[in-house]
Structure 1
Amino acid sequence: MDVTVRRAPKGLRGTITLPADKSISHRSVMLAALAQGKSRVKNFLRARDTLATVRCVRALGVNIMDNGEDLIIEGRGLGGFLQPEDILDCENSGTTMRLMSGTLSACSFFSVLTGDSSLRSRPMARVVEPLRLMGARIDGRDGGRLAPLAIRGGNLKGIDYTLPVPSAQVKSAVLLAGLGVEGETVVREKVPSRDHTERMLAGMGAEIFAENGVIRLQPGRELEPFDMSVPADISSAAFWIVAATLVPESEVLIPGVGVNPTRSGVLRVLASMGARIELQNQRVVGGEPVADIRVVSAGNLIGTTVAGEIVPSLIDEIPVLAVAMAMARGESVVRDASELRVKETDRILAVCTCLRRLGVEVEETEDGFYVRGQGRLTGAKVDSYGDHRIAMAMGIAGLVAEGETIVKGAEAVNISYPGFWAELARFAGR
């Protein structure tokens, strides 16, 4: 599907209600399934990725009821999953496959995880290796480096594991496996990654402690069910924050957004570029920091450098940050972001190719890119490469580009934000 976007005829004004946080939605279903009793999840994200998680969990014998508003999950407790009758299809969701690998490694039965062609090309060794160290028997293509993954779990032991690269998915997989092991599980991270799993486990009564980059989990304690409301997704908010920053005479309010410090690096970077962003009504909801975000158009932004420890806190927002960089004055640099190479597509290549199509001078590097900001974009035909974040970033670029911008493969937004194009049309006054 192609979508045509034209320059916004006037400032963006009003309130935007966002989809729920994708990372937290995934975890809410998986962890509720492991609890002893019935949990309720309000404001669950119903998108392609998260619904893949729901189907996989149901295939393990968990009763999940969707009344159109809430999900009610009847947890089976630790060790209560049933052997699935068929292969578990994670579709395009790396979170589903990697976190389910941890959960299934603690189960004393055989299971197989697969996904679409994109997911089957993404690296799985990073999660397979620590799970094997815990005692899981996991095989797959290329020695277990690629899906499908065949897992024979059970009889695991705790390990002391240092993450070689910052990865909340790997950390979470080890912790989920650690719920059903013998002995303590320790995960050490040199650079902080998103901590939704640790927060949720602590709220469910798990004996888990995190300090100075070291997470310790003691097994054996049954998890308590919960009643939670998932906050709005900071990754989805980033597109509208950039749009309101770039389109003149804009003023936008985005209520109820999760602003967990391990996820909100995009706010710090945009502020350093000159964006006018205000966090209002800050509070804690279900253990997660939440705020209403007010954005006012900022005029000329200045170039910036994104590198080092801040990268994991904004890795998913780099495609739309690149649009802001292209509209800024001066050079911007992204480094230490090689993880972008192994997302739904090679996002470094995709971002650079799309920006060049829009008339931007950009140089690709092994772990990032250089953008020479020029304050203008020229509409063109660009490809999403089947990646939801590339598609949405190019939609935002179209709001400030001269002429028409045509986004090919626009249906990719269904992975995380099914209503994005309708919201863009409404908000741009069309």
Structure 2
Amino acid sequence: MQGPRSAFVARDVGPTTIAALAVAQVVLWIVARPAGEPTGSYIGQLLGAESILLLSIGLVLISTLPWVEEWFDGIDRAAIWHRRLAITGLLLLVPHILLSSNPNGTTLGGPLGIIGAVGMVALALWAILPRWRSVVPRPLRRLVVAAREAPVARDVREIFGGYERWRALHRTTGLFVAAAFVHGVLDGTPFDDAPVLRWSYVGIGGIGLAFYVYRELLARHFQSLHDYQVDAVREIAPGVVEVAMRPLGRGVDFVPGQFAMIYLEAKDGWHRHPFTISSAPREGLLRLTVKALGDYTSRLAELIEPGMPAVIGGPHGRFNHAKGTDRQVWIAGGVGVAPFLSWLRALDGDLPQRVDLFYSADGEAPFAQEIRDIADRHASLRAHIIDTAVEGRLTIERVLATADGARSALSVFMCGPRGMLRTFQTQLRMAGVPARRIHREYFDWR
């Protein structure tokens, strides 16, 4: 369980460590290269070992251990890096397959390598499908939509679609990594003449698989879980629902801005999903602000009702304005206002930082009046509610126009649609805001 923090780990510690490990393995393979190894084949097998290293680190990142969250400044950032490492590891398999050769390969090694590669590629493609718009060029998107709506494609999506099915099959990733790892142990040609390469490879893969086994078999026994009951469900705006839950016993102890893994029993069974907590810690109820973004969230108001049980796991995340400078800008887009609502509702007395909150929504913004009322009570807080249907999209120029003083001393906190945040992040850095002072919550990770 996490409580308030007085210190925060630098956000680049995790990625820097990963880069150092990847470089160290390359150096080791260069130094320990046994005589007689063909250059092309050796490079291919080195890339295979790098792939196993990255995939093993990816298994560590989704182990749900608290120190992983500390290491990466948030479990959401760890999940993003898990995805990046998985994609990079799979890309390295292409030259590995093309360059590596072992005429004396074992009977079992080859099939295991094929099973591992095909299984991981299939899971990666499935993970990308919900985000196909960010991958497919705009001119081709109509063709993709037409293909998705074809009768056969609809049947496939009905069978394999949904977060729970995705999650269940995605958990088999470690099995395919294990198959690829054993393939390397059996068919790696440098290992007989270079024990240091063999045992470093075994250690790396073994650690990754040990973390996978921990997550699948043991983690559930160490999770911090709290029993709740749905108290109220109300529609705040079209497509936006607020769920209030009352603790049955001791409630979850969270820091404003954190999210939790919510297990909700609905009319069609139990559902599991990460949601940002939008209430303040001192409230008797725990509130979630949910937008219809897919799977069961689009029918949440129909599926749950007061009295239904819920279980809260966590909390997680390190999206906290306390780690910012004295001059801050908060940017919320749509349902991305949820962590800021928790911050605002938790204000007790004066706000020590000078803050401009920009909240953009298409039409009348949910919670707009509540936000204005809170801002009226705090002289150091200014709220800017933008109706994009009337005023157009929020721009960085408008945001920075309120940021008096040096931009190098400005801290920016953002939560909203991925495309919007990526654009803002780039523009803020170009405008002189240091990358280390730009913070965002990856609320769309899964």
Common fold by TM > 0.5: no
Bigger strand share: 1
Query: Per chain length, whose mean CA-contact separation is higher, i.e. which structure has more relative contact order (CA < 8 Å, sep 6+)?
Result: 1
Q: Higher helix fraction: Structure 1 or Structure 2?
A: 2
Flag the structure with larger Rg: 2
